[in-house]
Amino acid sequence: MKSFKALSALLNYPSAELVPAMPEIRAVLTGEGLVPRSSLKALEPLLSSFETAELYDLQERYVLLFDRSRSLSLHLFEHVHGESRDRGQALVDLSQLYDKNGFFIVANELPDFLPLFLEFLSTLPFGEATALLGETVHILAVLRQRLEKRESPYAALFAAVEALSAVRADPKAAAEAAASDVMPDDLAALDREWEEAAVTFGPGEMTDDCSLTRIKTQVRAARRSPDAPTA
C-alpha cells in the first residue's frame, strides 16, 4: 500500500528529493483511492507548498512545528509515556515487532517516529495496517486539532492519515486533550513543557488505546493464522 508510504514521506523533514516527488505522491494517493477525495482536496495546499516554497522555508516550518514543541512531537510514545521508563520498554517492544515482521530500521530514528511507523504499515496487508493505525488514531486526532489551531496545512495531512484508520477518534476526548497545547511563540511555556512529566489523557482513553502495547499481540495473532505468511 503505497499511500501509507506517500503520507510518510510528506511527514518527514523536507528534503531536496521531496519536491520532485510531488507528482508521484499525488499519483499514488489518487490512484490507490484509499484516501477520500475530500481529504485529498484538503491536502492540496500542503502539496503545493512543497512545490512553490523555498526549501529552507519548508524546513524552518517543519522544525518550528514538530521539533520545537513537545505537544506536536511526531514520536508517538512521547504523548503517552513522556520520558518515563515505560517509554523505553515500549520502544523495545515496537522495535522487536518491526524486526519480527522483516522491517529493519536503517535510519537514525526511534521506532515510534510516526513517518517510520507509517512506512512499516505500508508493508502489511491493508486490514492489518488499518487496524494497527487505529491504535494511534486518538493521538493523530489530537495533533490534527492542534495543527488546525495553528492554521497549519499539515493538519490536512493528519486528517488524511486518520481517514485510513479502521476506527475513529472520540471527538470530545481529542478536543479536551488538544486543549493542553503550547504555542511556539511562548518560549517560557515551551521550556516548562519539556520539563513536565508524561501527558495524560484521562482513564482508559489515550493511555490504553494508543500506547501501542496491543500492536504486537495483534500482529502476532495474525501471523499465527493458517493463511498468514510467516515472518
pLDDT tens across 20-78, in order?
A: 999 999 999 999 999 999 999 999 999 999 999 999 999 999 999 999 888 899 999 88
Compute and round to an integer the Cα radius of gyration of the chain.
Answer: 17
Q: CA–CA separation, 181 vs 203, rounded Å? A: 20
Give the integer Cα–Cα distance in Å for 179 and 125.
Answer: 35
For residue 230, pLDDT over 70 is answered with no
- CA diameter of the chain: 56
Per the listing, cell 515496537 goes with 94
List C-alpha distances in Å: 99 to 68, 92, 93: 30, 11, 10
The whole-angstrom separation of Cα 34 and Cα 160 is 9
Q: What's the Cα-to-Cα distance from 191 to each of 68, 79, 200, rounded to whole Å?
A: 10, 17, 19
* pLDDT tens per residue across span 109-161: 888 899 999 999 999 999 999 999 998 999 999 999 999 999 999 999 999 99
- For CA atoms 144, 145, 149, 151, the dihedral sign is positive
pLDDT higher than threshold 80 for residue 222: no
Phi, psi of 26, deg, nearest 5: -60, -45
Q: Which of 184, 203, 202, 204 is nearest to 194 (CA)?
A: 184
Q: Which amino acid is at 69?
A: S
pLDDT at 231 over 50: no
All three cell numbers of 41? 482536496
Cell numbers 501501542 correspond to: 212
Dist. CA 56–CA 116, nearest whole Å? 23
